[in-house]
Each structure stands twice: as C-alpha cells, then as structure tokens.
C-alpha cells in the first residue's frame, strides 16, 4: 500500500514538472515583448480587426505588433509544444 501511494505521488510530481517544463517553452520574445503561446493569445489576435495592433504582453506592457506575424508564431509554437508535451505525457503514462 505504501508503494502504491508513493508511485501515485511520484507520478503526480512528474506530471506537474512536465507541465511546468512546457509552460516555460510556450514563452517567447517577439517585437520587444514577452508572450506565452496559448488559446487566449490566439483568440485576442484573431479578434484584432486591423493588421497592426497594440496589445499587452506577459508583463502588461503595451506593445505594437503586426497581428499576422505574431499569430503565425503563436500558433506554430503552440502546436509544436503541445505535440511534444503529448508525446512525453503518453510516455510517462506508459511507464506508470
């Protein structure tokens, strides 16, 4: 019973570390600001009616950006990291 409890704790800790690892990889610099790729930023960029816009970065600093350039980078980063995260998560689940 103790072994089972320890294994569950270790698996939870490994999942938490994996999440933190990929959250860090989703953060990147562009146009003088720091951004975190994710559904929220993608939605904001898709809602921008013009090609250039001023939006706040991770540190709430207003940055003027080219919407299509940043959107392309965010979508690419998001898919790359989510795919890598899924692969590692599946391997972790198999090792459990």
Mean pLDDT to the nearest integer, 16-24: 92
Q: Is pLDDT at 9 greater than 70 in this prediction?
A: no
Domain that holds residue 71: 2-95
Q: What is the pLDDT of residue 8?
A: 54
The residue that leads in pLDDT, 75 or 15, is 75
Q: How many domains does the chain have?
A: 1
pLDDT band at 10 (very low <50, low <70, confident <90, very high): confident
Q: What is the pLDDT of residue 42?
A: 97
**What DSSP line would sit under the chain, residue for residue?**
-HHHHHHHHHHHHHHHHHHHHHHHHTEEEETTEEEE-SHHHHHHHHH--SSEEEEE-TTS-EEEEEHHHHHHHHHHHHHHHHHHHHHHHHHHHHH-
As beta bridge partners, residue 27 has 36
């Amino acid at each position: 019973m103790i072994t089972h409890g320890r294994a569950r704790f270790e698996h939870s800790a490994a999942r938490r570390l994996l999440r933190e690892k990929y959250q860090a990889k989703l953060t990147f610099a562009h146009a003088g600001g720091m951004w975190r790729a994710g559904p929220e930023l993608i939605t904001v960029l898709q809602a921008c009616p013009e090609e250039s816009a001023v939006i706040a970065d991770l540190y709430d600093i207003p940055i003027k950006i080219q919407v299509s350039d940043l959107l392309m980078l965010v979508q690419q980063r998001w898919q790359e990291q989510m795919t890598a995260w899924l692969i590692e998560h599946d391997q972790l689940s198999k090792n459990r």
